[in-house]
Structure 1
Amino acid sequence: MWIDTHCHLDASEFAGRERQIASDAGKLGIAHLVVPSVDRASFGRVATLAHACTNCSYALGIHPMYVPHSTEDDLAALENALAEGMSDPRLVAIGEIGLDFYVPELAESPLREKQEHFLVEQLKMAKKHELPVLLHTRRSVDTVMKHLRQQGIRKGIAHAFSGSFQQADAFINQGFKISFCGTCTYERARQLRKLAAELPIGTIVVETDAPDLPPVWKNRKENSPLELPRIGEAIAALRGISPDELAERTCRNAAEAIPRLAPLLTKG
């Protein structure tokens, strides 16, 4: 059985099809899907979706690309939602949070500083509520790592990882798992494929990031959680192991990274 540790099933691309996709995922051997929010408007949406689909859970956070239009009131709303949600077993993490320095304007002042402020405040919430974090680290791994160390955050997932071996080791030493997705299916992604093949098997998890980051066979079309088994097969082939072995190990790793997943997996 597979776990999709990061998919945006609440995205508009899936409107009206969310429950069917989750149901179909179960039939394909996908035991669970973790659905992170991206902004204040999606807090309620991901929670509702997770309760409508027995194989889904959710995370709450403000995505760095949504920070430019977010306010201090949104951070306060997040804290309130987390405080209320801690009694909800389907709330499993804080995410999607992090930094994005790939987009030029986001990497420059004042948005760079605003991103870092939002990240720090959300890391403080993670520590307060003892929740793992689902991290966006595009072109920003070292800065994200600096804040993780300063805030003492030692559990979570580096989502859709695209850094170096040295950066992956830094996350692993911090207690994090490294997540791989459909980008590993592209022959030109040599460094990423090498990482997926060679990192210790106890340190990796898998995801789709649907509807984004489609695997090569989707030909840049909409991605779906239903692609996870085939993505997993591709990663297993890189490692020279069976898909069943990779599925079993990455499920175990996901439950280590996100402890509140374990009872949900037991219930099925």
Structure 2
Amino acid sequence: REEEPCDVKEIGCMKWELLSISRGSTSELTYEIRVTNNCSNKMIYTVIQVPDGVVAVEPLNNSVYTAPSGRTYDVRNPNYTPFYSIRYKSKTDSISNGQGDILQYVLPGNTAPAYIHIASRLYPSLYYEAHLNTFNCPIQQLKPGMKLRGEETGAAYLQVFPNPTTGVLYADLSAWNGQEMELRIFNSQGQQVRRTQMVAQDVPQQVDLPQGLASGLYFMEVMTPQGEKHAVRFVLKQ
């Protein structure tokens, strides 16, 4: 039995549910929102407001978000229209006729908005928006070893160590042994700081970090020859 959502808003044929706010071993907060489209018109995108000037920790800009349903969405983070937000744009088969998807994102722990402005656009030009309240949503503390929805795919197969690192970093790409991978590294503002190609091996491989990187949070993203993307966070301490 699923837990009751913290807040539910229904406008027209769209329904948005704030399912949970969770805190893991860091101060970062993970939000889960279920979007349900009861229209026959397919959804084009959903945008979820984030505080002005804040860049969500996850999902990464220009990455592909995979919902628990398996449907995929192109991510723009940050997105500027119709308001400052994260945008999840349907890649192929979008939701309609009562289907729903869970959208998950991570914000820095010092940002805790009292409400979340959310909007969805449907074909051809339908637009619905609402505000979800967060004050009835107690922050859940995840126990060590607990996984958030969606972590079994994606970052679970891509591991880096040591983490934190002082500059020497290894990646475990054994899940894609023999495949030529594109590897990119981004800083916490979503700016690319390194891009390279490497053939995955069944042993950990050293990843050369650029000289002069500042200490802080970074993201490694790898892309398979089929275009499948996986990302993981790491911390650099110089």
Structure of larger gyration radius: 2
Same-fold call, TM cutoff 0.5: no
**TM tier relative to shorter chain:** under 0.3
Q: Which has the higher contact order (CA 8 A, sep 6+)?
A: 1
TM normalised by structure 1 equals 0.22
TM normalised by structure 2 equals 0.24
Higher strand share: 2
Higher helix share: 1
